[in-house]
Structure 1
Amino acid sequence: MENVYEAAGGSKGLLRLAEAWHARVMADDVVSHAFSHGFHPQHSERLAAYWAEALGGPATYSGSYGDETSVVRMHSGNGPHEEMDRRAIACFDQALKDVGLDAPLTQVLHDYFAWATTTTMARYPESADDVPKGLGIPRWSWDGLQR
C-alpha cells in the first residue's frame, strides 16, 4: 500500500498543494497577516519538503532546512490565534480541492494539517524560547500520528 506521501503525488504533488495553500492563505484577510512580515522566497518548496517528511517521504526538510524545533519556533510567541488557525485549515481544505485530490486521501491530509495547526504549531503561544531543542518532525500515516 502506498504511504500518504506517495498517494499525494510525492514531492511534486505536495509542492502543488503547498503552492495552492499559499495562494489561498495570501488571499485571506486574516491568515495573510501571518505573512505580513515577509516569508522565505522558497516558502512553498520548504513547506512541501516538510509535509513530505511528515507524510512518509524523504527527510529533505530536516536534512537541508532544520528540525521540528525550528519550525515550531517560527510559529510560536504570537499568542493564541484560533480564528487564524480555523481559516488556515479552511484554506488547506480548499487547496486540496484546487489540486484535485480525492477521498480518502483528502480526509487524511485534512486531519494531519488540522492536528499540526492546532497542536504542535500552537503549543507555545507565549514565547518561541519555550520550544524545546531537538524536536523531530512528527510522522503521520493513514492511521494518524505515529508514535
Structure 2
Amino acid sequence: MTDKSVPTLYEWLGGIEALQRLTTRFYEHVKADPVLESVFAHMGGDHPAHVAAFLAEVLGGPDAYSRQHGGHAHMIRQHLHRHLEQAQRRRWVELLLQTADELAMPDDPEFRSALVGYLEWGSRLAVINSQPGATADADAPMPKWGWGEVKGPYTG
C-alpha cells in the first residue's frame, strides 16, 4: 500500500515542467560535450521531450511515455546496436546531475540518492542493451523508481 501523503519523486522534483527544463538544458550541454556529442549527433528535436516523459513515468508521474511511445521495450530498442561505452555512460550521468544543479533542482540527500540510483541503474542497462546480441523484450515492464524502493524488469 502506498502512503498518499508522501510525494512521488516526480512530484518532489516539480513535475513534467521541471523535467522538460532539465532535459532541454541537458541536451544543449550534450551537443557541446566532447564525450557525448557523437552519440547524440543525429538526435531529433523531440528527443528531450521524450526523455522527460520517460523519466516522468519512471519517477512516479503519468504513463504518457508508455501510451505514446511503447514503454520500456521502446526505450531499450533505442539503445540496440549503439555500442555505448562506460566512459560515455559515466559522462551522461555526470552531466545530467550537473545540469540538475545548474537548474537548482532539489538537492536533498534522499531525493538525490534516489535519482542517482535510477540514473546509474538505467544508464548501465543502456550500455548492456547497446552491445552486440542484445534484444528488447516486448513485455519488459516500465521501471518504477521511488524513495528507496524499486519495481522494474529485473527487480520483481
Please give the TM-score of this superposition, normalised by the length of structure 1. Answer: 0.90
Residues 1:43 and 2:56 are matched in the alignment: no
Tell me, in whole angstroms, the C-alpha distance in 2 between the residues paired with 1:106 and 1:19: 20
Tell me, in whole angstroms, the C-alpha distance in 2 between the residues paired with 1:10 and 1:144: 20
Map of 2:97 onto structure 1: 93
Higher relative contact order (CA 8 A, sep 6+): 1
Deviation at 1:144, TM superposition (A): 4.1
Map of 1:84 onto structure 2: 88
Deviation at 1:89, TM superposition (A): 0.8
Tell me, in whole angstroms, the C-alpha distance in 2 between the residues paired with 1:71 and 1:13: 21
Map of 2:59 onto structure 1: 55
Residues 1:107 and 2:118 are matched in the alignment: no
Quick one: percent identity of the two aligned structures?
A: 26
Tell me, in whole angstroms, the C-alpha distance in 2 between the residues paired with 1:137 and 1:63: 11
| Deviation per residue, 1:92-146 (Å, 9 max, x gap) | 1101101102122223212211210012x12221145x22222121110011422
Tell me, in whole angstroms, the C-alpha distance in 2 between the residues paired with 1:10 and 1:80: 29
Give the partner amino acid of 2:45: P
Map of 1:132 onto structure 2: 137
Please give the TM-score of this superposition, normalised by the length of structure 2. Answer: 0.85
Give the partner amino acid of 1:40: G
- 3-state SS of paired residue (1:71): helix
Give the partner amino acid of 2:61: G
Map of 1:30 onto structure 2: 35
